[in-house]
Structure 1
Amino acid sequence: MTLLDVKNVSYSYDGIVNVLADVSFSVGKGTIVGLVGPNGSGKSTLIKNIFDLVRLQSGSLRIGGHEHASARAKSLGMYLSSNDYLPEFLTAREYVSLMGDLFRVEVDHAEAVGLFRKYSMEGRYDHLIEDYSHGMRKKTQLVSALVMRRPLTVIDETLNGIDLEALHLSEQEFRRVRDEGRSILLCTHDFAVLERLADRIVFLDLGHVVYDESTEDLMSEHGSLATMVFDYIGSDER
């Protein structure tokens, strides 16, 4: 079953140059899809379109079969941005509770406390976010998503800034999310993470989908995802 369906989406900020040009792909239930591409390829604009943060100009976007701007669609997906902007005047407990209210989820704070302990933040769940380091804020974002357990989670470079132990734990948790039949669209420049985690790769460049293939097939053909990306960028095909 398709959870996220992107069809023929184009977008321009100035009405002249398309940042996205006829982009189409899908994310099935119980899959991890990697979204890769150089800076300026359109990844962030695509994510903004998916979550109705900019007005869709052409094409269609559906989440769980629902039009992306509908309340039902928005209840199914959670977006973790690349920045670490969180409400500093709240504690992590208050922030997770707020997310629970927004998504109408009964929050299991014991689970959140357990994740804080696993992420080496034991005893900090009731501290103000303003006292957190950059890495702790990123981990708090991840914990909130793991507790909310939305059918679709879109992660945009959120793994940047966390330590190796936390990265390893995140990979384990993402696999558990997939095993539950939920899906992740993971936008990252860490190709090694995608090689370990992603079922499929969507490669964007200059607003176009260059590749939409299984990670296994791309690895077999190119040897590594890094080689695939850098060979294309250095080729005459762009």
Structure 2
Amino acid sequence: MSLLNVSDVSYSYDGIVNVLLDVTFTVEKGTIVGLVGPNGSGKSTLIKNIFDLVRLQSGSIWIGGQEHARPEAKQLGMYLASNDYLPEFLTAREYISMMGKLYGLDADHDEALALFRKFAMEGRYDDLIEDYSHGMRKKTQLVSALVIRPPLTVIDETLNGIDLEALHLAEKEFSRARDEGRSILLCTHDFAVLQRLADRTVFLDLGHVVYDELTNHLVEEHGSVAAMVFDYLETAQR
């Protein structure tokens, strides 16, 4: 059953530059879908459309059976952006409390504290975010999603800047989320991570969906996700 359904979405800036062209794909419940593509392929614009951060120009987007701009749909998804812009005047405890309230939840601070320990941030939960490193802010973003448990989490390069141990832990937590029936759209240039995690991979280039296939099928055909991407980029008329 589809949790996210993107159908025939096109988008252009100022009516001139076409960024997305008839993009169609789904994210099923309890799956991890990888989203890959070179810079300028339209990935970030697609994610902004999914979360109604830009006005949908054509096509349709549904989340959990609700039109994506409806409040009920927005409650089902969480967007972890590629930047680390968090409210610096809050502590992590206050930030995660605030995020929980946005989703109508009381955040489980015991769980958040346990995750802070796992992510090598023990003793920092009540420190101001302004004192956090780039990697710590990224890990705080991840912890917020792991504690709130939205049905759909969209991760846009959030894994960049975290250490290898934290990356390994994040992969385990993403797998656990899938096992619990939640879904993740994982946008990353780390093809090895996608190869380990993603059930399906969507490859976007110049606003078009080039591939939308089971990840293991892509690996069988091309040898690896990285090889699939680079083989296409070397031969495509772009």
User: Common fold, TM-score beyond 0.5?
Assistant: yes
Cα distance, 1:16 vs. partner? 1.7
* Separation in 2, partners of 1:6, 1:222: 26
TM-score after normalising by structure 1: 0.99
Partner of 1:64: 64
How many angstroms does 1:17 deviate by? 2.4
Match of 1:101 in 2: 101
SS of 1:233 mapped into structure 2: helix
Structure 1 counterpart of 2:212: 212
1:2-33, CA deviations, whole angstroms, 9 ceiling, x for partnerless residues? 00000000000120221000000000000000
Large movers: runs of 4+ above 3 Å? none
Aligned length: 238
1:233 corresponds to 2:226: no
For each residue in 1:151-197, what CA deviation from the matched residue of structure 2 results, as whole angstroms up to 9, or x when unmatched? 00000000000000000000000000000000000000000000000
**Structure 1 counterpart of 2:22, one-letter code:** D
1:158 is aligned to 158
Query: What is the CA RMSD across the aligned residues, in angstroms?
Result: 0.6
> Residue 113 of structure 1 corresponds to which residue in structure 2?
113
TM-score (ref. length: structure 2): 0.99
Amino acid at match of 1:77: G
How far apart are the structure 2 equivalents of 1:143 and 1:207?
31
Q: Which amino acid is 1:88 matched to? A: E
Q: Superposition pairs for residues 63-212 of structure 1, below 5 Å?
A: 63-212=63-212
What's the offset of the Cα at 1:237? 4.4
Superposed CA deviations along residues 84-116 of structure 1, whole A, max 9, x for unmatched, are 000000000000000011000121100000000
**Does 1:13 find its partner at 2:21?**
no
Instruction: Return the offset for 1:199.
Output: 0.2
Inter-partner Cα distance in structure 2 for 1:218 and 1:26:
17
Shift of 1:236: 3.5
Note the alpha carbon deviations across 1:103-137, whole angstroms, 9 max, x for none.
Answer: 00121100000000000000000000000000000
Question: 1 CA distance for matches of 2:99 and 2:91?
Answer: 12
Gaps of 5+ in 2: none
Structure 1: any 5+ residue segments left out of the alignment?
Answer: none
Amino acid at match of 2:169: L
Correspondence for 1:221: 221
Alignment partner of 2:75: what SS? Answer: helix
Taking only the aligned residue pairs, the percentage that are identical comes to 79
Does 1:39 pair with 2:39?
yes
Moved more, 48-57 or 101-110: 101-110
